[in-house]
Amino acid sequence: MNLLIFITVVNMSITASYVAIGVILVRLLLKKAPKIFSYVLWTPVLFRLICPFSFDSTFSLFNLINLYVKQGTGVSELFMQTPVIHSGIGSIDGTANISLTSAIPAVSPNPVQIWTAVISPSPNPKQIWLTAFSLIWIFGVITLLIYSIVSYVKIKGKLQTATRVDGNVFESDAIGTAFIFGFIRPKIYVPANVEDASLLYILEHERTHIRRKDYLIKLIAFLLLILHWFNPLIWLCFVLMSRDMEMSCDENVLRKLGDSAKVGYSSSLLSQAVKRKGLLTVNPLAFGESDVKTRIKNILNYKKPAFWVIVIAVIAVCAATIAFVTNPSKSVAYTSDIYIKSP
Amino acid sequence: MEKYKLFDAEYKFVSIIWDNEPINSTELVKLCADKLGWKKSTTYTVLKKLCERGILQNKDATVTSLVKREDVQRYESRAVVEKTFDGSLLKFLTAFLSGRKLSEQEAKELKRIIEEAAK
């Protein structure tokens, strides 16, 4: 059971890695577009990290990868190894394999080889390795979960004595930066004694996060990051996605407050960043801010986008999402049949 | 002196007591919920901590303060002068008054305080 979950996770991770690379490339094209597009673009990665199944489409990104892999690259090895090793364990049934294959965009350079591996009898040294890896994986997940929960509880304790300023806004001198805390009834916490001028921007920013449910998205992303902790690409995705989230939130605030707010807004960001040094390291679950320099640049350069930019961005995001979310069409992916036949 | 060191939240809490003492602890819980957004347990935790430090007193569910507001203010202002202005009152006053105009009344009052202190 443990192994089955582990293999499913590894396969989702590999699939998601392809999608992530795609997203990072498309994201480069969208550099000049409003950041909300880059932010939305991460949805397929999220989907691939969480869901081992998808539906087929001829527009799938993996059709391209298949064509490429057929010419004999090593990438496919990773895809193949897991199910092969997996089949060495007695208790595996057909459904497991089906689910596996639909998780993996099938890319077999040599189906025959796999076929033999599937039917070959037990004593399989690879199986031992696999068990070892799955234990390391579980250990990592548990460690990260415990660490996160402990720091969450610690911050919660610190925030207990925060005093209400107004509505869901609380202030505390135990924190160096503003953030949102709590998932069911999220509250905004700001450092005590922030100048009123900054407070306006800080609150507008955090309220935008709450309105857009960003704190929940970040929670989901963080849990998925824990599940896929062994994949460095996913860590990169988390960082980039957080940045896109912040910058699109900044843009939202600017749209609301107008261009005249640019200078005030960025200087309030800067003063927060300076104060933060040495205080409370930011826990990903406490909704902290990141990359002040990039964000300030983005704020100062922000212009209302031209109509055609939005049109192109919408088309690009939609096309990319379809390509990234769907599996290759059956005609291109031929390996799935083989797995279903396995004993 | 460290006794008077109060965190932001603690200062606000003690301020409520200064304004309302002697106050029944149930009443205090209500006031804190209203003014600070605190849960009952938070109020009691902070109350207990400050009682242990000898800043507050809780006898028969009646809460009173053991230190005066002026004492805490004196400690706080000295701490600022010490920490930010190397203990120099002059530097502090210069910084405090720069870009700020005193009213006739305030200037007179200040003069009086300074003469008082110089005696």
Nearest CA to CA, how far is A282 from chain B (Å)?
21
Helix (H) or strand (E) holding A326: none
Helix (H) or strand (E) holding A122: none
Q: Which of A173-182, A194-203, A221-230 has the highest mean pLDDT?
A: A221-230
Write out the E strands in chain A: 56-57, 163-166, 169-172, 179-181, 187-191, 327-328
Preceding omega of A34 cis (within 30 degrees of 0): no
Q: If you measure CA to CA, which chain B residue comes closest to A160?
A: B42
Interface membership of A279 toward B (CB under 8 Å): no
User: What whole-number distance in Å separates Cα of residue B82 and Cα of residue B96?
Assistant: 14
Under 8 Å between Cβ of A226 and A144? yes
Instruction: Identify from B11, B36, B40 which residue to disrupt to test chain A contact, counting A C-beta atoms within 10 A and taking the largest count.
Output: B36
- What's the mean pLDDT in A67-77? 42
pLDDT attached to residue A81: 40
In chain B, pLDDT over 90 holds for what percent of residues? 0
- What's the mean pLDDT in A319-330? 81
Chain A residues touching B8 at Cβ < 8 A: 163, 171-173, 192-193
Residues 6+ apart with CB under 8 A from A262: A254, A299, A300, A302
Interface membership of B8 toward A (CB under 8 Å): yes
Query: Which has the minimum average pLDDT: A254-263, A289-298, B89-98?
Result: A289-298
* Residue of A66 and A204 predicted with greater confidence: A204
Instruction: Identify from A163, A172, A194 which residue to disrupt to test chain B contact, counting B C-beta atoms within 10 A and taking the largest count.
Output: A163
Chain B residues touching A193 at Cβ < 8 A: 8
The ipTM, to two decimals, is: 0.72
- What's the mean pLDDT in B102-109? 84
Q: Is A320 left (phi over 0), alpha (psi -120 to 50) or beta?
A: alpha
User: What whole-number distance in Å separates Cα of residue A5 and Cα of residue B73?
Assistant: 61
Under 8 Å between Cβ of A205 and A212? no
Q: If you measure CA to CA, which chain A residue comes closest to B11?
A: A163
Nearest CA to CA, how far is B37 from chain A (Å)?
5
- In the stretch 111-170 of chain A, residues with CB closer than 8 A to chain B read 160-164, 170
Asked if A163's CB is within 8 angstroms of B36's CB, the reply is yes
Whether the pLDDT of residue B5 is over 70: the answer is yes
User: What whole-number distance in Å separates Cα of residue A215 and Cα of residue A183?
Assistant: 7
Asked if B9's CB is within 8 angstroms of A164's CB, the reply is no
Query: A287: pLDDT confidence band, cut at 50, 70 and 90?
Result: very low
- What's the mean pLDDT in A310-325? 88
Whether the pLDDT of residue A66 is over 50: the answer is yes
Whether the pLDDT of residue A130 is over 90: the answer is no
Chain B residues touching A162 at Cβ < 8 A: 9, 37
Residue with tokens 């930019």: A309
Interface membership of B84 toward A (CB under 8 Å): no
User: What whole-number distance in Å separates Cα of residue A117 and Cα of residue A115?
Assistant: 5
Smallest CA-to-CA distance from A247 within A47, A49, A31 is with A31
Q: If you measure CA to CA, which chain B residue comes closest to A162?
A: B9
Whether the pLDDT of residue A85 is over 70: the answer is no
Whether the pLDDT of residue B115 is over 50: the answer is yes
Q: If you measure CA to CA, which chain B residue comes closest to A163?
A: B36
pLDDT attached to residue A140: 94
- What's the mean pLDDT in A77-101? 39
Interface membership of B77 toward A (CB under 8 Å): no
Chain B residues touching A192 at Cβ < 8 A: 8
Least CB–CB distance from B37: residue in A170, A174, A192: A170
- What's the mean pLDDT in B67-88? 83
pLDDT attached to residue A288: 47
Least CB–CB distance from B37: residue in A163, A173, A174: A163
- In the stretch 173-192 of chain A, residues with CB closer than 8 A to chain B read 173-174, 192
Query: A41: pLDDT confidence band, cut at 50, 70 and 90?
Result: very high
Residue with tokens 């998205």: A217
